[in-house]
Structure formats: structure tokens, C-alpha cells
């Protein structure tokens, strides 16, 4: 835990009071979330709606977190409206509120540079969007990370509403899985139908995240047993090509006994246990409403109960793919070794080093999750069987018809995620190991950015050819097994497989272009050069991020924070 000394300036007395939880967890010893943080841009009414809902939930359940807003609005008048709105909420609810606009972030950048002797271009890229890219949501998230260093914090989107709903078939048995995405999906034709289907409950939303966030795997307790586990382990031990150490096996059996349920285990998970028991560093509750996904073809690839719901009838199938309204969550508290990270509501154990978000363009949450998976090998993600509402007035009610070549048109964040997942570093349970891994990953990304663009494209192809070929093979297997049951779904999936297959037999080896669609739409022919510039800047940020975090912690001990009291 980053130390916080009792040298706070008078202007930060409220901040010091709100952080009194850091060293004093609840009587049961469980870590507590002490802040709710919201990044926003140009949406005064929407962020006010979100704030009111989270404040009222906290007060209903006797919680007193601080509320932190990082405002990326470019217009000074919009920033002034946000400040006035926060002042009004402060008068109404009397809660500790903190705000950081452009000037507050710029001031903290100067303090980081001076106090930590940090390179200006790196710090400015992390927090300020000096290239004026069309989206800098990740820079706002990084600002929130630095403001809440040393805390358990909850980052939520400004278009969420803290109205908690149960998940159908919900159970409170904690399970452990190596599935990257253990969530299920219930599809709805529109937002109103989704709301009517929900069973809303009055629950402490912070407490929901605290059930898993910050917990050690060895800290869970359950009396349940699974008699089939031994035979499953022996099968993996016999058929797997990884030599299981006795220490890893002992940890596996012990986790089974304390968690009560283990499913979808693989050899990679057993290997991960060798690095230590690890902790749940990130938690994700479910969402009800807008999915937040950018591509409609994602849902065609779903398996299990989600697939059955999607393909119940052709009429529903077509409606569901166009509506993009759903309930997406797990049915049981689930600890995953995977890399899926959905930033709509995100619990973060920021008491120890976490990676930065990609500061510019979208998909910053996915990049964050992939760095956690790649460089923090002993850490885990927790999924929770409750949802909050996700509803943006700006999102169109109907999605465009499926465009199958969108699979071959990657966005900037998707390109970074694809490259990061090609790297995996052994890790022990200490911040120094995680920092070294991020430094190595950062150097690799800088090297890619410094290559001639044609060489970068070739390297990108070599990294991704095998996983994409494996994906195609799996989808062909699904067509063989399920195609006769849902012919309309099968025809759509065939279109996708055919497009990828044409790439596989061509010069691109089935790999999408490294030229990102979002940058091309904004910058045309300059997109390739800008992508490589982002590579170099983000690779450098990964190398300096641990030092930036330590500097922020040191500034906190002097009473200097990024966001300022309202």
C-alpha cells in the first residue's frame, strides 16, 4: 500500500477524511472502496444523473466514499457548467466531491515532472492528449488512477445509473474459471423491454464489488466439495504437455477446497498458480441496457446459453442483433484468469501498482485488461452477478445491419490489444516484477513503432496468424455442430468465415490490416504515421508508469492531489 502521511494541506482536509478508510478496513478485515470516480466529456445532464444515483445508493447503505470527476470537456463553458452542477450536488447531499478539468490536470502534470524528474512528453501523453486526438477517455482514466493511488476505487461510466438488478439464476457460490469472458447475455429488442424484464433490488453497490475486489484467492472460504476434481486434475496432468509442479498441484487442490467450485480449468491456469496465490485486482459488475460493444458481429460468436437465447427464432435473432440492448453478466461471483475488461463499471484495487490505460482513442479498457493479463500474471479479474443500468441518450436505438468485413477493420485499441496478447511474462507477486514486465512490453511496443510501416505490418501478421487460424477452425467446427439447428445464424457465420478465409489464402495471412479504421476515418493517409507515434508514446509510458505512480503517491503524502475539492 502506498503510504499517506498526515501532512495534508488545509484545502485537502476533506480528501484526508475520505481516505481515512485506507488504513482502517471494516471490522472483518475486508478492504473497502473509498472513492467513486467518473470520467466525463460534454455531458452535464448525463453525469449529474449518474452522480445522483451513486450518491444516493452510498448514503442509503451508510457509505461515505469521495466522488471524483475528471472532465475532458474542451469548451470552458461546459467545464463551468460541470463545476456549477457539482457545487449544487455538494449543497444537496453534503458529500466530498472533487473535480479535475484541463487546468487541474495540467497543474498536476507540472508537479509530476518537477517532483519526479519525469520526461514531459511521457507525462503529458498519459494525462493531457497533446496530439488532440478525437478521443482521450484513457487519459481521463489515468488521471483518476493517479488521484486514487493507495485506494480501492470504483470507476464508472458517466452514462450509467446505479440501480442494481439481479441476474436470472443468480447464485452466491464463488467459482474460479480460466474462461476469458465468463459472462452470459440476455438479449432484448429495446431499452424499455430490458428495464421491464429486470428484477431491481436495494443493495450496496460498493459492497457488491468488495465481495471480490482486493481479496487473496487463499482468503475465500467454503465448505463445499467437488468429488470430480481429482479425476479432472489427473486427466489434465496426463494429457497436458506442461509439467505440473507439486506446489502448483497443492495450490490447485487448496483453492478447490476454499472456493468450493472450479470450472473450465486449463494448463495455463495451473502454470499461473506457480507464480503465487494472487489477488483479485479488478472487478466488473454486469450491465443492463446498451452493450457498449462497437461491433455487432461479436454476438454471433457467443456459445452456450447466450447462443441459445440469440438463436431462439430467426425473428428474434435479427431484432437482437440490431437492438444492442442486453443484460450481460455472470450468474455467480466468478474469478477469472482471462483478459476481458469492460470499463462500464470497474472496481480497481489501486493499493498496489496497476497498469495505465491507453490514453487516446477508444478500447482503453480492453488494452488495460490485456496488460494486466500479460504483465501481472499472478493477478485476477472478478465478475459479479449484479447489474447497473447503462443508458446513453446519444446512442442510436438501432444498430446498423451486420457488416461482415468489420472483423478485418480493427480500431486502434484492438491493434494494441492484439499485440499485447502475443506477449506473456512470467511474474511473481510483487510490484517490482510487474514493473519489469511493463518495461519489457513498453520497449517491445516502442520497437514496433520505430519500424518502417511495411515491416510493422509484416510483424503484425506473424504475431496474429496462428490465433486467427485457430479462431477460424473453431468457428468451422461450430458450423458443423450447430449449423443445421439455426440456418439463419449459420449463413451469417459462414460470411464471416469466408471473408477471413480469403485473407488466409492471400498475402495478409488472414490477419486484418494494421492500419486502424478509427485513425483512417479521422486522419486519412496520415493514419499509419500517427499509429506508430502512438506506439512510441504508449511504449514509453509503460516504461515510466511505475515511476509516475510512485511520484503521485509521494505528492499525496504532501497533500497534493490531481482533482481539487468542490
Q: Which of 34-43, 353-362, 483-492, 510-519 has the lowest mean pLDDT?
A: 510-519
Report in angstroms the alpha-carbon separations of 71 from 44, 61, 104, 135, 354.
Answer: 10, 28, 10, 13, 22
Question: In this predicted model, what pLDDT tens digit does every residue of 529-545 receive, in sequence order?
Answer: 999 999 999 999 999 99
3-state helix, strand and coil shares in percent for the chain, rounded to the nearest 5: 50, 15, 35
368 within domain boundaries: yes
Distance CA 124, CA 139 (A): 9
Q: In sequence order, what are the residues at sequence separation of 6 or more whose Cβ sits closer than 8 angstroms to the Cβ of residue 153? A: 33, 34, 35, 36, 37, 144, 347, 348, 350
Q: In sequence order, what are the residues at sequence separation of 6 or more whose Cβ sits closer than 8 angstroms to the Cβ of residue 258? A: 217, 218, 219, 220, 221, 222
Question: In this predicted model, what pLDDT tens digit does every residue of 80-99 receive, in sequence order?
Answer: 999 999 999 999 999 999 99
Report in angstroms the alpha-carbon separations of 35 from 114, 198, 434.
Answer: 27, 27, 25
The pLDDT value recorded for residue 5 is 32
SS3 24: coil
The pLDDT value recorded for residue 272 is 60
Q: How much of the chain exceeds pLDDT 90, in percent? A: 60
483 within domain boundaries: no
Distance CA 36, CA 26 (A): 18
pLDDT greater than 90 at residue 498: no
The answer to whether 328 and 183 have CB atoms below 8 angstroms apart is yes
Distance CA 180, CA 199 (A): 27
The pLDDT value recorded for residue 430 is 72
480 within domain boundaries: no
Distance CA 411, CA 420 (A): 14
Domain final residue, candidates 243, 258, 273 = 273
Average pLDDT of 456-461? Answer: 87
Q: Do 139 and 255 fall into the same domain? A: no
Distance CA 299, CA 295 (A): 9
Distance CA 292, CA 137 (A): 14
pLDDT greater than 80 at residue 236: no
Neighbours of 60 (CB within 10 A): 12
Question: In this predicted model, what pLDDT tens digit does every residue of 370-398 receive, in sequence order?
Answer: 999 999 878 899 999 999 999 987 655 55
Q: Do 207 and 223 fall into the same domain? A: no
The pLDDT value recorded for residue 327 is 97
pLDDT greater than 60 at residue 15: no
pLDDT greater than 70 at residue 225: no
Q: Do 129 and 241 fall into the same domain? A: no
Distance CA 265, CA 155 (A): 30
Q: Do 19 and 40 fall into the same domain? A: yes
The pLDDT value recorded for residue 270 is 61
pLDDT greater than 60 at residue 23: no
Domain housing 240:
219-273
pLDDT greater than 50 at residue 21: no
Q: Do 115 and 188 fall into the same domain? A: yes
201 within domain boundaries: yes
pLDDT greater than 80 at residue 503: no
Distance CA 320, CA 310 (A): 7
Q: Do 315 and 269 fall into the same domain? A: no
pLDDT band per the 50, 70, 90 thresholds, residue 220? low
pLDDT greater than 50 at residue 168: yes
Angle (deg, nearest 10), helices 412-420 and 431-450: 120
Return the higher-pLDDT residue of 389 and 319: 389
Residues paired with residue 328 on neighbouring β-strands, in sequence order = 185, 287
The pLDDT value recorded for residue 428 is 66
478 within domain boundaries: no
Distance CA 324, CA 398 (A): 7
Q: Which of 51-60, 230-239, 291-300, 329-338 has the lowest mean pLDDT?
A: 230-239
Q: Do 174 and 263 fall into the same domain? A: no
Average pLDDT of 339-354? Answer: 95
167 within domain boundaries: yes
Return the higher-pLDDT residue of 525 and 218: 525
Strands 184-188 and 97-100: unpaired
Q: Do 103 and 45 fall into the same domain? A: yes
Q: Do 159 and 131 fall into the same domain? A: yes
pLDDT band per the 50, 70, 90 thresholds, residue 528? very high
What is the rounded average pLDDT for all residues in the chain?
84
Distance CA 257, CA 495 (A): 46
Average pLDDT of 178-189? Answer: 92
- How many Cα atoms sit within 13 Å of 547 on the Cβ side? 17
The pLDDT value recorded for residue 26 is 41
391 within domain boundaries: yes
As separate numbers, helices (DSSP H) first and strands (DSSP E) second, the chain gives 20, 14
The pLDDT value recorded for residue 76 is 95
pLDDT band per the 50, 70, 90 thresholds, residue 467? confident
The pLDDT value recorded for residue 316 is 92
Distance CA 407, CA 17 (A): 49
Q: Do 233 and 103 fall into the same domain? A: no
- For the chain, what is the domain count? 2
Q: Do 61 and 88 fall into the same domain? A: yes
Average pLDDT of 497-525? Answer: 73
Distance CA 109, CA 124 (A): 7
Q: Do 183 and 207 fall into the same domain? A: yes
Distance CA 165, CA 385 (A): 9
Domain final residue, candidates 227, 256, 273 = 273
461 within domain boundaries: no
The pLDDT value recorded for residue 232 is 36
pLDDT greater than 70 at residue 256: no
Domain final residue, candidates 239, 273, 307 = 273
Neighbours of 444 (CB within 10 A): 17
SS3 477: helix
Distance CA 211, CA 215 (A): 8
Q: In sequence order, what are the residues at sequence separation of 6 or more whose Cβ sits closer than 8 angstroms to the Cβ of residue 114? A: none
pLDDT band per the 50, 70, 90 thresholds, residue 457? confident
The answer to whether 40 and 156 have CB atoms below 8 angstroms apart is no
The answer to whether 369 and 341 have CB atoms below 8 angstroms apart is yes
Amino acid at each position: 500500500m502506498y503510504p499517506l502521511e498526515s501532512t495534508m494541506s488545509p484545502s485537502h482536509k476533506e480528501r484526508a477524511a475520505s481516505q481515512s478508510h485506507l488504513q482502517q478496513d471494516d471490522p472483518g478485515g475486508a478492504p473497502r472502496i473509498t472513492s467513486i470516480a467518473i470520467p466525463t466529456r460534454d455531458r452535464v445532464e448525463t453525469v449529474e444523473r449518474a452522480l445522483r444515483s451513486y450518491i444516493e445508493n452510498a448514503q442509503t447503505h451508510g457509505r461515505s466514499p469521495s466522488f471524483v470527476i475528471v472532465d475532458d470537456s474542451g469548451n470552458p463553458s461546459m467545464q463551468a457548467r460541470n463545476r456549477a452542477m457539482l457545487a449544487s450536488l455538494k449543497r444537496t447531499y453534503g458529500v466530498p466531491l472533487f473535480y479535475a478539468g484541463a487546468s487541474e490536470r495540467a497543474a498536476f502534470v507540472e508537479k509530476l515532472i518537477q517532483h519526479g524528474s519525469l520526461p514531459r512528453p511521457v507525462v503529458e501523453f498519459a494525462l493531457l492528449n497533446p496530439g488532440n486526438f478525437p478521443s482521450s477517455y484513457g487519459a481521463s482514466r489515468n488521471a483518476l488512477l493517479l488521484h486514487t493511488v493507495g485506494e480501492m476505487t470504483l470507476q464508472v461510466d458517466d452514462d450509467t445509473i446505479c440501480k442494481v438488478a439481479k441476474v436470472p439464476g443468480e447464485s452466491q457460490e464463488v467459482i474460479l474459471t480460466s474462461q476469458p469472458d465468463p459472462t452470459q447475455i440476455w438479449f432484448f429488442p429495446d431499452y424499455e423491454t430490458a428495464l421491464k424484464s429486470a428484477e431491481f433490488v436495494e443493495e450496496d453497490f460498493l459492497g457488491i464489488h468488495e465481495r471480490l475486489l482486493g481479496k487473496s484467492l487463499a482468503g475465500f472460504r467454503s465448505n463445499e466439495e467437488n468429488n470430480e476434481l481429482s479425476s479432472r486434475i489427473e486427466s489434465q496432468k496426463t494429457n497436458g504437455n506442461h509439467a505440473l509442479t507439486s506446489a502448483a498441484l497443492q495450490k490447485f487442490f487448496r483453492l478447490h477446497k476454499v472456493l468450493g467450485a472450479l470450472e473450465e480449468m486449463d494448463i495455463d491456469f495451473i502454470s499461473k498458480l506457480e507464480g503465487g496465490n494472487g489477488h483479485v485486482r479488478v472487478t466488473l459488475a454486469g450491465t443492463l441496457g446498451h452493450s457498449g460493444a462497437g461491433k455487432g458481429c461479436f454476438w454471433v460468436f457467443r456459445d452456450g446459453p447466450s447462443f441459445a437465447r440469440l438463436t431462439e427464432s430467426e425473428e428474434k435473432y435479427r431484432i437482437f442483433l440490431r437492438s444492442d440492448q442486453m443484460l450481460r453478466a455472470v450468474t455467480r461471483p466468478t474469478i477469472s484468469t482471462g483478459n476481458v475488461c469492460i470499463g462500464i463499471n470497474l472496481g480497481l484495487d489501486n493499493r498496489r501498482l496497476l497498469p495505465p490505460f491507453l490514453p487516446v482513442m477508444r478500447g482503453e479498457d480492453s488494452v488495460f485488461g490485456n496488460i494486466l493479463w500479460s504483465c501481472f500474471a499472478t493477478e485476477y479479474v472478478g465478475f459479479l452477478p449484479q447489474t447497473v443500468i447503462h443508458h446513453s441518450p446519444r446512442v442510436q436505438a438501432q444498430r446498423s445491419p451486420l457488416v461482415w468485413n468489420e472483423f478485418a477493420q480493427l480500431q486502434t485499441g484492438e491493434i494494441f490489444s492484439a499485440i499485447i496478447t502475443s506477449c506473456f511474462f512470467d511474474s511473481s507477486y510483487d510490484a517490482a516484477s510487474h514493473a519489469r514486465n511493463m518495461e519489457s512490453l513498453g520497449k517491445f511496443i516502442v520497437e514496433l513503432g520505430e519500424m518502417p510501416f511495411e515491416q510493422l505490418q509484416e510483424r503484425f501478421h506473424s504475431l496474429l496468424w496462428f490465433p486467427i487460424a485457430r479462431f477460424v477452425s473453431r468457428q468451422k467446427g461450430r458450423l458443423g455442430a450447430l449449423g443445421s439447428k439455426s440456418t439463419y445464424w449459420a449463413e451469417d457465420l459462414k460470411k464471416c468465415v469466408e471473408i477471413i478465409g480469403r485473407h488466409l489464402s492471400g498475402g495478409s495471412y488472414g490477419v486484418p490490416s494494421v492500419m486502424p479504421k478509427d485513425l483512417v476515418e479521422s486522419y486519412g493517409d496520415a493514419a499509419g504515421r500517427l499509429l506508430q507515434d502512438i506506439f512510441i508514446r504508449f511504449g514509453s509510458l509503460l516504461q515510466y508508469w511505475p515511476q509516475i505512480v510512485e511520484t503521485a503517491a509521494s505528492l499525496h503524502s504532501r497533500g497534493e492531489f490531481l482533482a481539487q475539492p468542490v
